[in-house]
Chains A and B, each alone.
Chain A
Amino acid sequence: MSDSAIGVAELAAIYSGLKAIKGEINVVSTQLDSVGQEVESTRSDLSRLEEAFLEFVESDKKAKELSLAETRQVKVRQELETKFGHYAEVRRQVTGILQAADISLVRQETIRFATEGLMLNAPRYWLAPALVALAGWLSNNKDLATKAVNEAVRRDDEKTSLFFALITRRAARANACSVWLGRYFGLQNPEKLDRQTIVLIDAVASGIFSTEVRASCAKTLDDWVQELSQRAGFVDEQRKQWTDALISKMPSTDNGGRYPHLKKYSLTWQKLSDSLNAVAIHAVALDYFQGIYDGAIPPSPTLAAAVDELLDKLVGNFDDQELPLRRNDRLYQLIIDENGDRNAAQSKFDLESKALDEHLSFTQLLTNAAMHPETSHASRATQRFAIALSKKWIKDAHGDLGAEIRRAVPTDTDISIEDWHGVTKDGDNEGDLARSLTEHLKKREADAVASIGLESQHWIALVVGIGCLLFVGKSLLFGAIGIGFLIWFYTSYSGLKKKRDKVSENYAKLGGEALQVVKACLAEVVEYRREFAKRDAAAPEFSKLLDGISPEQYVLHSHDKTRQIISR
Chain B
Amino acid sequence: MARTLLPPQFPSLTSNSVTNSQPLLRAAAVEDRLRARRSNTYIEAMKRLDAGAHIHDRQALDKFLADIRREFPDIELQHLPLGIVARCYLGAPYEVHTLDQVGQIIDHYKRGESLPPLMERARSLSLYPGYAFVEVYVDKLIAVTEEGDTSIVKG
Contact = CB atoms under 8 A, between A and B. Distances in A.
Interface stretch (B15-23, B68-76, B146-154): B146-154
A359 B3 CA distance: 12
A359 B2 CA distance: 11
A404 interface: yes
A396 B143 CA distance: 12
B36 to A, nearest CB: 11
Interface stretch (B43-51, B54-62, B101-109, B123-131): B123-131
B97 to A, nearest CB: 18
Contact of B3 (A188, A404, A543): A188
B128 A406 contact: yes
A396 B1 contact: no
Given A188-B3, A189-B2, A396-B35, A540 B130 contact: yes
A549 to B, nearest CB: 16
Contacts of A236: 31
A400 B153 contact: yes
Interface residues of B, number: 21
A299 B132 CA distance: 45
Contact of A232 (B2, B28, B121, B152): B28
Interface residues of A, number: 28
B1 A409 contact: no
A400 B151 contact: yes
B128 A189 contact: no
Contacts of A232: 28
B32 interface: yes
A399 interface: yes
A192 B1 contact: yes
A495 interface: no
Given A194-B1, A399-B149, A407 B35 contact: no
A540 B147 CA distance: 12
A194 B153 CA distance: 34
Most chain A CB inside 10 Å of its own CB: which residue of B3, B35, B149? B3
B4 A235 contact: no
A539 B125 contact: no
Contacts of B141: 403, 407
A515 interface: no
B28 A407 contact: no
Contacts of B130: 539-540
A182 interface: no
A63 interface: no
Contacts of B149: 395, 399, 543
B3 A407 contact: no
A402 B130 CA distance: 11
Interface string B72-85: 00000000000000
B50 to A, nearest CB: 21
Interface in B82-134: 121, 123-125, 128, 130
Query: Which of A396, A399, A409 has the largest number of chain B CB atoms within 10 A?
Result: A399
B3 A409 contact: no
Given A399-B151, A400-B153, A540-B130, A407 B32 contact: no
Contacts of B151: 396, 399-400, 402-403
Nearest to B28: A232
Interface in A219-259: 232-233, 235-236
B137 to A, nearest CB: 13
A193 B1 contact: yes
A403 B152 contact: yes
Interface string A384-405: 0000000000011001101110
A436 interface: no
A187 interface: yes
Contact of A409 (B2, B28, B124): B124
Nearest to B123: A411
Contacts of B150: 399
A191 B3 CA distance: 8
Interface string B5-18: 00000000000000
28 contacts: A187-B1, A188-B1, A188-B2, A189-B4, A191-B3, A192-B1, A192-B3, A193-B1, A233-B28, A359-B1, A396-B35, A396-B151, A399-B149, A399-B151, A400-B151, A400-B152, A400-B153, A403-B125, A403-B143, A403-B151, A403-B153, A407-B125, A407-B141, A407-B153, A409-B124, A411-B123, A536-B128, A543-B149
- List the 6 shortest-distance A-B pairs measured between CB atoms, nearest first: A189-B3, A399-B151, A403-B151, A192-B1, A403-B153, A403-B143
Given A188-B3, A539-B130, A543-B149, 9 more contacts: A188-B1, A190-B3, A191-B3, A395-B149, A400-B152, A400-B153, A403-B151, A404-B153, A406-B124
Interface of A: 187-194, 232-233, 235-236, 359, 395-396, 399-400, 402-404, 406-407, 409, 411, 536, 539-540, 543
Interface of B: 1-4, 28, 31-32, 35, 121, 123-125, 128, 130, 141, 143, 149-153
